Amino acid sequence: MEAIKMQMTEQAAAFFKKEMAEKNEDTLRFYNLAGCCQPVLTAEFEPAQTDDKIEIVDNVKIAIEYAVVDDLKDVTIGIDDTGEEVELVLDGYIIPEPCGCDHDHEQNDEYNHNHN
């Protein structure tokens, strides 16, 4: 497995540190969630699992499910706070091709937050 070169924008690092402190969480975890045709990349604040790869990026602890490590190795984590919710942006992540069903296959933004 190649080394991870994951990066994070200053804006995203500040946002995640603030959110993690407010929610008393210490890990941002990326993992695959079952989708209708293929797994969907998901990110949530939750503890690392036993087999996760742990990275510290700009003092933010990130756990990455083994199945998605290669997909995220050259990604820059950012946020888009121009809308009503803050959205996770993964610059360099290749979204899998849709399978032809009616579901939206954009990355799963369970990690959206309302502006406060």
Task: Classify residue 1: in a domain, yes or no.
Answer: no
116 pLDDT higher than 90: no
Dump pLDDT digits (tens) for 1-57: 556 789 999 999 999 999 999 999 999 999 998 777 778 899 999 999 999 999 999
Task: Classify residue 34: in a domain, yes or no.
Answer: yes
CATH number for the domain that contains residue 106 = 2.60.300.12
Dump pLDDT digits (tens) for 60-112: 999 999 999 989 989 999 999 999 999 999 999 887 776 766 655 454 444 44
pTM: 0.80
Query: Distance (Å, rounded) from C-alpha 80 to C-alpha 46?
Result: 21
Determine the straight-line distance between the first and last CA of the chain, rounded to whole angstroms: 40
Number of structural domains (the chain) is 1
Domain span at residue 50?
7-114
Task: Classify residue 2: in a domain, yes or no.
Answer: no
